[in-house]
Structure 1
Amino acid sequence: MALLAGVAWTLPNSLLGVLAGLACVPWGARPEWRRRDLALGFRCMPRIGSGGALTLGNVILYSCEQLDTPCFTYAHRAGHRQEPCISLADHERAHVFQYMVLGPLFLPLYAACGGISAGNRFEQAADRYALQRSGWWPWPAT
């Protein structure tokens, strides 16, 4: 029940992702259901950058052929610390979970926390989840 509620709550975000993915099909984007990630994926998305990804609700848009590809954490890329490579799929799955809890509030909160940056608590939580398979929530428990 909670799973269905989360999918419904973030549906406006997911619709944006579906529209973006479908708009890029003529340029090579290919849809696939990603059961483990609870998301519809669009692989080979143009204009996301080499090896990049963007999650909108239960939709993951990514430029590579396979989402299960290694990548560096935001902190590693920013030079803050040395960390092992993580799975891009695990990182993006954390964002799917975040969207399912926050729904339409996700995008404004994400922007308020600094947008695409190593200092953004949403990105830090997604990296933590990809490293440890836990801790995808962006605020510490009290």
Structure 2
Amino acid sequence: MCALGVLWTLPNTVLGLGAGAAGLAFGATARLDRRELAIVFQRWPWGPGGAMTLGNVILHTADSLDAPCFTYAHRAGHCEEPAVRIGDHERAHVLQYMALGPLFLPLYLLCGGISVRNRFERAADRYARTGRGWWPWG
């Protein structure tokens, strides 16, 4: 399943590798992270902070995916939840990409993009909190 998922999401991964490679000239570093099932570009120089996943690539603006972050529901004021590890949240997106391949981005955008309403983000938060439930229709 893992190898098939990597192949299935390869078009998304190529986008991530292009974005990550552009960041290398501005101080980003790259490494293979087996735990996250991804190539991680740390200190990626663009964006408001945090991380973004494209296939098996995670673009992260800080030094470590061990950084805590609040869930989307917590930030939106829907509930009080403890912070989660950002790497766990992004790993859920890697798994979603591997299952949905080229369908991920259109479905993600149809579900609301970067928002607490997006079932992909809620599933990634659930996975980061519990270690289970990364599938957005679960």
Q: Same fold (TM over 0.5)?
A: yes
Identity of aligned residues (%): 60
For residues 45-101 of structure 1, give each alpha carbon's deviation from its aligned partner in whole angstroms, at most 9, with x where no partner exists.
Answer: 111223x10000000001001011100000001111100000000000000000000
Q: Structure 2 unaligned runs (5+)?
A: none
Alignment-derived partner of residue 30 in structure 2: 31
Q: Say if 1:48 and 1:62, in contact at 8 Å, map to a contact too.
A: no
The residue identity in structure 2 corresponding to 1:25 is L
- Write the mapping of 1:66-105 to structure 2, written as runs, cut at 5 A: 66-105=64-103
**Residue number in structure 2 paired with 1:8:** 7
Verify the 8 A CA contact 1:41 1:60 in the aligned structure 2.
yes
Match of 2:135 in 1: 137
Kindly provide the CA deviation profile for residues 11-50 of structure 1, in whole angstroms up to 9, marking residues without a partner as x: 0000000000001111111101111111000000111223
- State the match for 1:57 in structure 2: 55
Q: TM-score, normalised by structure 2?
A: 0.98
- TM-score (ref. length: structure 1): 0.96
Which residue matches 2:104? 106
SS of the counterpart of 1:37?
Answer: coil
Alignment-mate amino acid for residue 101 of structure 1: A
Gaps of 5+ in 1: none
State the superposition RMSD in angstroms: 0.6
How many residues align? The count is 138
In the other structure, the counterpart of 1:40 is 39
2:25, 2:3 → 1: CA distance? 31
